[in-house]
Every structure is written in C-alpha cells, then in structure tokens.
C-alpha cells in the first residue's frame, strides 16, 4: 500500500459456492477488473483411513478444492465477457500432492486435485489469455503449528539464510503472475532458494496382446513384467531426495 495501491479484505467462506461467486463479483465491482487470482486458502486435518469422519472429507475438500474451483469459475465468468488479456491464476498445491503421505492422506488428495485442476484450467482458459500454474512450496505457515514437534523444530525461524521463510515462495508466486511469464499448466515447487519443476504423469510403460482380448492368466503374467516401483525425486524438508515410489511393503 506504500506504493499507492488499495487493498480490501473479505471474510467470505469460499467453500460456499455462491459466496465465492459473490466475492469475485464484488472485487470486479470495487476495483474495476481482476488480473490475478491466487488460491491460497487451505486447511489440513490429520487422520488415518479407518479413523476419518465425513466431516473431515467435506471440510478439507470444501475449502481446498471446491473453494478454489468456485473462485476460478467465477473469474472465468468475468473474463469470458472480455477480450483476451494476459492474466494469471496460481493454485497453491503441496509436495504431499504428487507424493501423498500418511496421516495426511486427505490433505494430500486435495493437493493432488489442485494440480489436476491446474492442468485442466490451463487448457480451458488459454484462449482468454489466462495462464494457470500450481505452486508446491515447503514453507513455514500456520499449518506447521499442528505438525509433529520435530517438524516444527526443523522448520523454525533461523538467523541468516532461512530456507523455510515463506518469502521465498512469495517471490516465485510473483514471478508466475508477471504478464510475460511463459509457463502455464505447470506445477513448480520451492524450498528456500531451490526451485523445482514437476513433470506431469506419464504413461511410460505399455503392454498389448496383439489386438486380442487378454486371458486372466496371460494378463497376470504380463503385468509381472512391469516394475512395482520407479525411482523418483521427491521434495522434502531436507531438499530433493531420490527414492523408490510407491512403497510396496505389505503386512
């Protein structure tokens, strides 16, 4: 605001579809137009399968996914009435999206959904001049307050270079919002000064039966030729780590 800008706050519950629509309409009415949308609202509730309640699902998906979708939909309604103009949407995902971890499986699923929504929205809104990307940061936020004590201590503020300061993610977010940013439909990650670009899911392996239906026994044998795991690079609080994925140990 020191540069002469204007800000306004809104306490709408974005998990309410009509409230999210009204929020965007109000912004356009008050400020004249909408150029950038950042879907940063999110909540997390820990819980393992077998211990979850319907409310856990409804609330996390309501805020993390439905809320973001409602705001993107509302923005698209505005932009479809206007000439194509460079605009940007950034959806906040998480390293837990592409690589889910217990006991935050539901949260992981919402963040994977954000990545998929990003890829779809990027295709839909490209004709309007809108770039849509997702950002997967490892940073110190209020969600860390409910993390295990060891995680809180590891990500605590420190003197000098602080890899978990949220300012690092904010700078990358701003770059993605610049009018001449060249990415769309991408998931980028960051930890401190480290920036990562995720590759999209890829069907790397193929089987076929020569145009004939498989028998169960033949298909079972053929599936045995596929790897149970692949080596992948994962964003962690310690940096980039290569390890096999997914886990295969049972029992």
pLDDT tens digits for 146-192?
A: 766 766 777 677 888 888 889 999 999 999 999 999 999 999 999 99
- 57 pLDDT more than 70: yes
Residue holding tokens 């110190």? 140
Sign of the dihedral through C-alpha 201, 207, 208, 209: negative
* The most confident of 15-19, 46-50, 197-201, by mean pLDDT: 15-19
> Residue 132, class by beta-carbon neighbours within 10 Å (0-12 exposed, 13-18 middle, 19+ buried)?
buried
Q: What is the pLDDT of residue 148?
A: 67
Task: Quote the distance between the C-alpha of residue 165 and its chain's center.
Answer: 19
Reading the block at residue 212, the tokens are: 């004939």
Across the range 186-207, mean pLDDT stands at: 94
Pairing of strands 36-39, 87-92: parallel
Instruction: Identify whether 196 is a catalytic site residue.
Output: no
- 227 pLDDT more than 90: yes
Across the range 108-127, mean pLDDT stands at: 97
Architecture of domain 17-197: 3-Layer(aba) Sandwich (3.40)
CA dist., res. 54 & res. 52, Å (int): 7
Residue extents of the structural domains in the chain? 17-197
Please list the helix, strand and coil fractions of the chain in percent, rounded to the nearest 5, in that order: 40, 15, 45
**Gap between the terminal Cα atoms of the chain:** 57
Reading the block at residue 41, the tokens are: 């609202």
The model's pTM is 0.91
């Amino acid at each position: 605001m020191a540069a002469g800008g204007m800000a306004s706050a809104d306490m709408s519950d974005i998990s309410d579809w009509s409230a999210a629509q009204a929020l965007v309409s109000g912004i356009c009415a008050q400020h004249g137009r909408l150029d950038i949308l950042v879907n940063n609202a999110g909540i997390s509730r820990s819980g393992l399968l077998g211990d979850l309640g319907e409310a856990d699902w409804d609330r996390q998906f309501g805020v993390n996914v439905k809320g973001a979708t409602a705001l993107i939909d509302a923005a698209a309604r505005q932009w479809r009435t206007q000439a194509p103009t460079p605009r940007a949407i950034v959806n906040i995902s998480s390293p837990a999206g592409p690589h889910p971890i217990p006991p935050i499986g539901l949260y992981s699923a919402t963040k994977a959904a954000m990545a998929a929504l990003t890829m779809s929205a990027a295709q839909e809104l490209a004709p309007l001049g809108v770039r849509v990307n997702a950002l997967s940061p490892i940073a110190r936020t209020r969600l860390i307050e409910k993390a295990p004590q060891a995680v809180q201590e590891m990500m605590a503020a420190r003197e000098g270079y602080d890899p978990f300061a949220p300012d690092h993610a904010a700078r990358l977010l701003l770059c993605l919002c610049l009018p001449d940013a060249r990415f769309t439909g991408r998931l980028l990650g960051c930890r401190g000064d480290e920036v990562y670009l995720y590759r999209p899911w890829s069907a790397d392996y193929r089987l076929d039966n020569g145009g004939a239906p498989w028998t169960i026994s033949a298909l079972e044998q053929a599936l045995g030729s596929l790897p149970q795991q692949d080596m992948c690079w994962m964003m962690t609080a310690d940096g980039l780590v290569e390890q096999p994925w997914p886990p295969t140990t049972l029992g």
